[in-house]
Amino acid sequence: MKRILVGIKRVVDFNVRIRVKPDGSGVITDGVKMSINPFDEIALEEALRIRERGQAEEVVVATIGPADCAQQLRTALAMGADRALHVQSDALIEPLTAARVFLKLIEREQPFAVILGKQAIDDDNNQTGQMLAALWGRPQATFASKIELSDSTAQVTREVDAGLEVLEVDLPAVFTTDLRLNEPRYVKLPEIMKAKKKPLETLPLESLGVEPRVRVKTLRTDPPPQRQKGVRVKDARELVEALKQKGLL
């Protein structure tokens, strides 16, 4: 079966104003709306469109995290995914651990494509896709703004500093998605009801033989400094003088 594996992550909704805990140990998540990472929504949307074009038969969505992540998996099923895999763990999951988990899921599901968001909006690491491709020993095409599949290859337009770059990679391959790839579909109530009957399998992290190791320790989290009040100037001459006084010119 031609299968696509899509990875998603549970994050604080992008519309929520982030607040730092008083002791600086992290951000407040209690009572805060959580959602699918926006880049991962784009990854899922692209997988669904590929299936709708007849180039895939099944879309499997997977996540790693605590029991609460099942809510985001149900949302992904409501969007149109066929099955969901929940690798359940309360431990802190770093990118390398996530890549090793997805490698185990690849060995289990045998997908011809793995699509991930290019980064998560909570940690902005932008590492999991690249690490997964290295562990899997397969090609990667990151920051994709267009994906065109053929029988054994994919042509990917990716966004780089100098503009756009077009790559051709052999399948199976790992893709990570950029914002301009597509616009995720709106989930309607009938799809939400149908998603309750779709299969969602829970796998303990230990059952995959992957040990969560912490390599980076967060010492403290601080909110950004408050923005300073601006200064009005009458004309360009006064602006130049003000910039000179601040040592900016």
Q: State mean pLDDT over 154-166.
A: 92
* 4 has a pLDDT exceeding 80: yes
Instruction: Assess contact for 118 and 129: CB atoms under 8 A.
Output: yes
With helix as H, strand as E and coil as C, how does 13-24 read? Answer: CCCCCCCECCCC
User: Helix 128-136 vs helix 95-109: angle between axes, to the nearest 10 degrees?
Assistant: 50
Placement of tokens 């300073």 in the chain = 228
pLDDT at 37: 96
pTM for the predicted model, two decimal places: 0.87
Cβ 8 vs Cβ 64: under 8 Å: no
Four-point Cα dihedral 194, 120, 98, 58, nearest 10: 30
- Distance of alpha carbon 21 from the chain centroid: 25
The Cα 143–Cα 152 span in angstroms is 21
Burial class (CB in 10 A: 0-12, 13-18, 19+), 232: exposed
- Within 13 Å, how many C-alpha atoms sit on residue 179's CB side? 3
Q: What percentage of the chain reaches a pLDDT higher than 90?
A: 69
Confidence of residue 204 (pLDDT cuts 50, 70, 90): very high
Query: What does each C-alpha distance from 142 to 73, 120, 135 come to in angstroms?
Result: 24, 14, 16
What top-level class would CATH report for the domain 3-218?
alpha beta
Compute the average pLDDT of residues 58-75.
Answer: 95
Please state the rounded mean pLDDT for residues 120-139: 94
The predicted model gives 38-61 an average pLDDT of: 97
CA 213, distance to chain mean position in Å, is: 21
Measure the CA–CA gap between 246 and 249, rounded to whole angstroms. Answer: 8
Q: Is 46 in contact with 177 (CB distance < 8 Å)?
A: yes
Rg for the chain, CA atoms, rounded: 21
89, 66 Cβ separation under 8 angstroms: yes
The token pair that represents 97 in the structure block: 């651990």
pLDDT number for residue 227: 81
